[in-house]
Amino acid sequence: MTRKIGKNLNQRLFIVVLLVVLGFFLGTLAGRTKTYRLSVPGESGVENFDIDADFGLFWDTWETIREKYKDVDSVDDQSMVYGAASGLVGALGDPYSQFFEPENGKQFLDDISGSFEGIGAEIGIKDGILTIIAPLEGTPAKKAGLKSGDKIIQIDDEITMDMSIDEAVHKIRGERGTKVILTIMKDSGEREDVPVTRGVIKIPSIAWEILPGTDIAHVQLFSFTQDLSKDFDSIAQEILRSSAKKIIIDVRNNPGGYLQVSVDIAGWFLKEGDVVVSEGQGTDDDRQYKSSGPSTFKDWPIAVIINRGSASASEILAGALKDNLDSIIVGETSFGKGSVQEMVDIGSDAYIKLTVANWFTPNGTSISELGIEPDVVVEMSEEQIENEEDIFLEEAVKALE
């Protein structure tokens, strides 16, 4: 997932959510009248929002639980507050929006720092089903044979139908050395129980090589972590000192990461001022992220390899190179994770992650659900898969030559 973290981004929206939540528990909005006016600080002064809802229903529910629930003495008021806030965000029906209690919020932030304990697979919702976006290189998920597109039907003994992404992540993660059993459904419809032993996951960043007998630098981007911009800077200098004259950017099974990192990487290939991606609703008011250089490789022949495990920041980079440079895209249609999430600290160590916009390529193509279409489609036979033939890379080399 491409993530933007900070208190100041689209803050008005989060203030509205926060005030509604606080209104529940402070009683400032309680009553039977169904329309309320909120005054919220905005960019040009105070803005007013009408809320059409019966908040008295909330208090009726709270009081009924307190009066009639059989184990009321075991009920913790704060847990009920967390449950209500979670339900408020859950009512959006968006699998990528989530309320985090303090412990889960810290866990999420640890995930995107580059090191955590778990199985090492990015998951998402595809066609309403919990799906593996990509197993990360060198992780227990990869070693267990999990693949992009595998549908997770069951986690241990629990069916995943209607389970949110973050609930699933919470159940899959755990201390290293412990085991989780994922019931997977393949594209063929075959079901398989896959035991995975959890480990310490250190998200890899980048690797590169000169392909034998060529002048092509093959650059693999495994995840858009915080460190990737710095790592790419170092590797770019190595490439410039090498015999390479062409570049293959390989983002297969790269589930994404930080937006700004993808913009930074694109800057090595695009002219200063070129649009990398637009964020918004597909209108003229969308926010544009532009290249700030250094544009070192802008005249180099470039091919990009993607597959259905390429998501979010990977799709942003591929779309930017395709639209601006007409770079050749090789592989499979990417995952289609084209929405923007922001995470904000709303106080008391709790967080809200909220989808606030969609991504659009420089030519205005929506990434969400559709993904990036390859120019050269690669289909591998079972025999090629068993023999570990890298047809994707072979086709990319052909395209450049």
Alpha helix ranges (H) inside 114-223? 140-143, 165-172
Q: State the Cα–Cα distance between residues 183 and 261, nearest whole angstrom.
A: 34
Predicted confidence (pLDDT) at residue 28 exceeds the cutoff of 60: no
Other C-beta atoms within 10 Å of 67: how many? Answer: 8
pLDDT digits (tens, 9 = 90+) for 84-140: 988 999 899 888 888 888 877 666 665 555 567 789 898 988 888 999 998 888 899
State the pLDDT at residue 5: 43
Domain boundaries, the chain: 3-106, 115-202, 206-336+371-400
pLDDT digits (tens, 9 = 90+) for 329-370: 999 999 998 887 877 778 888 888 888 889 999 999 999 888
Q: State the Cα–Cα distance between residues 8 and 28, nearest whole angstrom.
A: 25
pLDDT, the chain, mean: 85
Instruction: Enter the tokens of residue 45.
Output: 């002064």
Q: State the Cα–Cα distance between residues 120 and 128, nearest whole angstrom.
A: 22
Q: State the Cα–Cα distance between residues 142 and 158, nearest whole angstrom.
A: 22
Instruction: Enter the tokens of residue 90.
Output: 């859950």
Predicted confidence (pLDDT) at residue 259 exceeds the cutoff of 50: yes
137 exposure class (CB count in 10 Å sphere: 0-12, 13-18, 19+): middle
User: What share of the chain in percent tops pLDDT 90?
Assistant: 48
Who contacts 76 (Cβ-Cβ below 8 Å, separation ≥6)? none
CATH for the stretch 206-336+371-400:
3.90.226.10
Q: State the Cα–Cα distance between residues 211 and 201, nearest whole angstrom.
A: 28
Task: Quickly list DSSP for 160-217.
Answer: -TT--HHHHHHHH---TT-EEEEEEE-TTS-EEEEEEE-EEEE---EEEEEPTTSSEE
Predicted confidence (pLDDT) at residue 310 exceeds the cutoff of 80: yes
Superfamily (CATH H level) for 115-202: PDZ domain (2.30.42.10)
Taking the CA atoms of residue 230, residue 236, residue 238 and residue 241 in that order, the dihedral angle to the nearest 10 degrees is -150
Q: State the Cα–Cα distance between residues 4 and 289, nearest whole angstrom.
A: 13
Average pLDDT over residues 286-302: 96
State the pLDDT at residue 327: 97
CA-nearest of 313, 358, 363, 364 to 334 is 313
pTM: 0.74
State the pLDDT at residue 41: 62
State the pLDDT at residue 128: 86
Contact (Cβ atoms closer than 8 angstroms) between residue 66 and residue 58: no
Q: State the Cα–Cα distance between residues 280 and 358, nearest whole angstrom.
A: 5
Task: Quickly list DSSP for 288-355.
Answer: EEE-----TTTTS-EEEEE-TT--THHHHHHHHHHHHH-PEEEES------EEEEEEEEETTEEEEEE
State the pLDDT at residue 320: 97
DSSP label at 251? Answer: -
Instruction: Give the least confident one: 42-46, 204-208, 241-245, 304-308.
Output: 42-46
Half-sphere exposure of 287 (CA within 13 A, CB side): 10
